[in-house]
Each structure stands twice: as C-alpha cells, then as structure tokens.
Amino acid sequence: MDRRTFLKNSFFMGILIFPGEKLPQELKISEAQVKDLFTVKSTNTARSSIFPQSVASGEPQMQGITLWTRIGSPQPGLIQAGFQISRDIDFQAIALQGVSQTDASQDYTLKAVVNSPHLQPSTTYYYRFIYQGTASRTGRFQTLPAVNSEVKQVRFAYISCQDYTNGYYNAHRFLAEEEIDFVVFLGDYIYESVGDKSFQRGIRPLQLPSNQQVAATLEDYRFLYQTYNSDPNLQKLRERFAFINIWDDHEFAGDCFGTNTPDQVPFHKSNLRQWATQAWIEHIPTSIIFQPEQGPLAAVQIYRSFKFGNLLELVMTDERLYRDGPPCDKLEEQQQYLQQNRYMIPDCPERNYPHRTMLGTTQRQWFLDKVLNSAATWKIWGNEVMTMQLKYLSTFATELLGESTPDLFVSFDQWDGYPVERALLFRTLKEAGVKNFVTITGDFHTFATGYQKINFDDPHEQPIGVELLVGSMASSNFAETNHSSSQRLKPVIEVMTQMLTASNPHIQYFNSTTHGYNVVEVTPEALTCTLKAVSDITTSRATLSTLKVFRVPLDQVLIEDLTPA
C-alpha cells in the first residue's frame, strides 16, 4: 500500500485519544476543540437526522472492533466526530474514545477501527458517536475470547438475502431479541435490481438516482445501502450485535463473476465493480482496506478468519471475485446463455474441466491451510452458495416437461458449476482426517440441511461434512417465485420439494416456503442449529416459530433432528 492510500485509510478509520496522550498532528485541532467533540450539549431530538442510519459494529477481535455510522446532515468539507466505548450503558466509565473523520468522498460514513489493550476479551461494551453536541443511539458489541482460551460456548446467528423491495424486515426484529454473541451475514445485503418483477414483489418500491432498474452508478449503490440501513428493524439488529460480513452477487450484480455483470448488460462500465466495492466498504462495518488505485480484483480482499478460543474457527470466503464464469457455453455467448437458461441445465463436458475454479488458486490454498491447520475443535466455513449437489433426476424432469429429459441441475451458479474444485476441497479434508467441519450457507432463499460428499452420485460414500443453509430474510423463495428462466418448469412447491429430496438423498431437510434465520450454539460436545421462521413479510406484523432443531455431535458426521414434537 502506498503512502497516499495509507493516509486516506487512516483518515477514514479514526484516531484514538487516551487521557494524558498528546494530540496526533493529523487532527489539526486544539485541545478545546477535541473536548467539544465529546460533549453532549442537548437532547437527542436531532438524532434521527444527524445519524439517519444509526450505528453499527463489526469485525470483532479479541481486543478490537470496527464502529460505524453515517452523518446525514453534514456541513460542507471535512467532518470530525467523536466516538466513545464504555463498559456501562450510561458512559460513566469511558474505556477509550477517539476521533473519526470523513467527507463526501466517503459518502459521509464514519468508521473507527479499534484495537487496544484498553479492551478486554469476551467482554460486552457499549459505544456511541457524538457530532455537533448530539449523541447517536447506543450500540453494543462483544469482543472475541482470547486466542488460546478454553471456551465453553459460542452462540451466533447467520442470515442472508434481505431484498428491501420484496418485504418487511420482521425477521430482523425478532433476531435483535435473541441471546447471541454476533451475527454472520453471508451476502446479498442489498439488491442491485429494483424492478425485476420475476422475483421482486415491489412491496417497498424504490427508484434509483439514475432512474435505471439496476444500479448503474456509485450513487445508485450508495443510495441502496442508505435505504436498507434506514430500516428500523435492521438498525436495531446492527445496534445490538457486531456483524461479520461477506458479500455474494447482488452487492454488485446478479450471478456475477469477477467484473462480469450478466444481469446488467446495458451497464458494462469498467468501473462498475469498483463502485460496488467502494459502496460496500463505506457502508459495512468492516476494517477491510480498500485500495481504489488497484484493479477491481486486487483492490480488496474479504476472505479472512475469526478464532473463538480453542472451540471454534470461522473461515469466511469470497466466491465472486475470483471465480470462472458458468460452464456449458463459450465465453462470448455467456450473456445470452445466462439470461435465457440460467437454471435447470443438463450436464456438459465443460463443467468438469479440471482448471475451473470458484475460489481462485490463492484463496483455495489459503482456505485449505486454515481448515487443515486449525487447532479449534469446530471448523465452520462461512460460504455463500450451496455446496451440495442439487438436481432433478431424469425421471422427474421428464415427468415435469412431458418429454424425454436428462438429469437437470438446478443452478450452475452454485458449487455444481465447479465440481472438480469441490471434490478437491472435500477429498483433501477427508484425507487429512479433518473432523467437525460444518458449512453455513446463504444465497438459496431456502432452509436446507444435508451432507457433503466427494461424489454425490455414490450412495455408499461416507460424507465428509455437514451443510446448513439458511432461508432468506426477505428475498423471494421458491414458493413465491416458482419459476425457471426457461419458463418451462413450474412445479408447485410441494411437488418440487418431493422431487428434489428424492433426487438428492444427501439432503435431509428442504423448505423454501418461508423466511427467517438460523441460530447456532457451539459447545465442546456438539453444534446445534435452530431454524427460525417468521409468519409473514408482506406486512409489518408477524410471529416467530421454530422450524427445526438439528444437532451435530462431536467427531461425527451426523445430523440429529431434535425438533420438539
């Protein structure tokens, strides 16, 4: 990283100030001005306009955190705001405080990346920002356990796919009341499309600044984050728990790969990927560095891992930036192919080419090193798209289409489009004797549970791991869309579920009729995953229920159904 980039990121990430320390020269303000930054002068009647997206935290560390907010009514030019972290909710005993700076080039988003001995492991803290005498709402986060400590329990939730236009964030409201340590977001935080009637119901319609149906400018992407983060239920969730985020495709473009935008053919602008990345960095509470002077594939690295003492290591991957395009067509013809035949696809030789990759060679080796060398009891893969094979057997495909049809894969945007690399990963883990490997997955808008195998077509092969998919928070599921891009295959959801589970015996549970989140409790003895669903997202009223409770015992590739009768 060059000096200019370093200074820009330091400017964006905030500067800590401790009692008795001299002011950093970079601030260029007096002691009196600093004191003024931390003074709450009035009641908080202006809070919602000054902090329209409230506050958030992310990237929890043993002695660190990233704090986030956005100023909604800024003065022109440089913005400086104070932030404070305290063990008590009333901020009577400040653990540390600092100054964060921003301007229009960062969409007036403020970050404070904190890593300090003033923070203790496994501890709950409260935080706030102060700007022009007004304090933000109070947020809360929990630091990670010490690296080598003996941890008895970790409890977290994971979610994905929150299409704002498609429904209300009822699931967010219930999740905010759960007793968990943090939230993992597995992608599709925003949707670049605001007018696709094939899967968006327009319950909360939006109009982009560009007046296009899909994001075409940096301001479009910023507008989407501003709007999504203005939802009160999402704000409540972000205030209560630190987030660990990765992206999937819709933060950029549907079914994207690298810098390719198959859903946005009219907007093949060379900097569109960079704009999408910049807006994500600005509006997500992450300490990941963005280097805009680099090309889109080198400007950012979001794959990383988090350790929770000796109990758990969470390994997060990026399955968009480095992947090859979908198989079964020539590169110059892929745009037409993707639009017209994205789902329900027969096999083809290209799918099994040995060089095809989703992770890219560098990330793949990093991932294997992390899992193979982890000393944690449980290794959890934070994964964007379904790893388990998913297809209709020829018998069912023929029955549905009324003509002789081969096996049809549901989607090659998933790991089914990269079977050689998938087999390489699973074979490597199996040969190394890796135990307690569990994958958590989003993207598919479906609650599903099953086993991972090297060869899914071998009924006698023992699985190597367990995959647990979460349904969407608000995006349309199969019961709501019930369509394929070819418009030929439209089974009712009950028939679809029966055919898919019969065609894929490694899948133990499949439910694409509802929305919600998964809560995971990890102990030295077992991993338990509770699937929770809301009754409705078409209105702001809903109830919460438990769909299923699954348990994976220590050192066993086994899914036990503990759902109460």
The lowest-confidence range among 136-150, 298-312, 399-413 is: 399-413
pLDDT over 90, % of the chain: 79
Instruction: Using pLDDT thresholds of 50, 70 and 90, give the confidence band for residue 377.
Output: very high
**Does the structure show a pLDDT above 80 at 266?**
no
Taking residues 407-421, report their average pLDDT.
Answer: 96
**Does the structure show a pLDDT above 70 at 14?**
no
- pLDDT at 484 (0 to 100): 42
Tokens linked to 203: 């319950």
Taking residues 506-531, report their average pLDDT.
Answer: 98
**Crossing angle between the packed helical segments 493-503 and 394-401, to the nearest 10 degrees:** 150
CA angle 451–454–460, rounded 5-degree value: 70
The answer to whether the beta carbons of residues 112 and 131 sit under 8 Å apart is: no
User: For the segment 225-246, what is each residue's pLDDT rounded down to a tens digit?
Assistant: 999 999 999 999 999 999 999 9
* Closest among 442, 368, 415, 386 to 184, alpha carbons compared: 442
First to last CA, the chain: 57
Higher pLDDT, 127 or 34: 127
- pLDDT at 34 (0 to 100): 76
**Does the structure show a pLDDT above 80 at 21?**
no
Taking residues 302-308, report their average pLDDT.
Answer: 98
Residue linked to tokens 């149906």: 213
Instruction: Using pLDDT thresholds of 50, 70 and 90, give the confidence band for residue 521.
Output: very high
CB-CB neighbours of 45 under 10 Å:
8
Residue linked to tokens 């908080």: 44
Residue linked to tokens 């994905």: 160
Higher pLDDT, 482 or 518: 518
Residues 6+ apart with CB under 8 A from 252: 192, 261, 272, 273, 276, 277, 320
User: For the segment 158-178, what is each residue's pLDDT rounded down to a tens digit?
Assistant: 999 999 999 999 999 999 999
- pLDDT at 45 (0 to 100): 72
Taking residues 261-266, report their average pLDDT.
Answer: 67
- pLDDT at 442 (0 to 100): 98
* Closest among 33, 105, 32, 101 to 69, alpha carbons compared: 101
- pLDDT at 17 (0 to 100): 60
**Does the structure show a pLDDT above 50 at 495?**
yes
**Does the structure show a pLDDT above 90 at 265?**
no
**Does the structure show a pLDDT above 60 at 336?**
no
Structural domains in the chain, sorted by start: 3-142 (2.60.40.380), 154-561 (3.60.21.70)
**Does the structure show a pLDDT above 60 at 139?**
yes
Residues 6+ apart with CB under 8 A from 344: 392, 397, 408, 409, 410, 484, 485, 486, 488, 489
**Does the structure show a pLDDT above 60 at 5?**
no
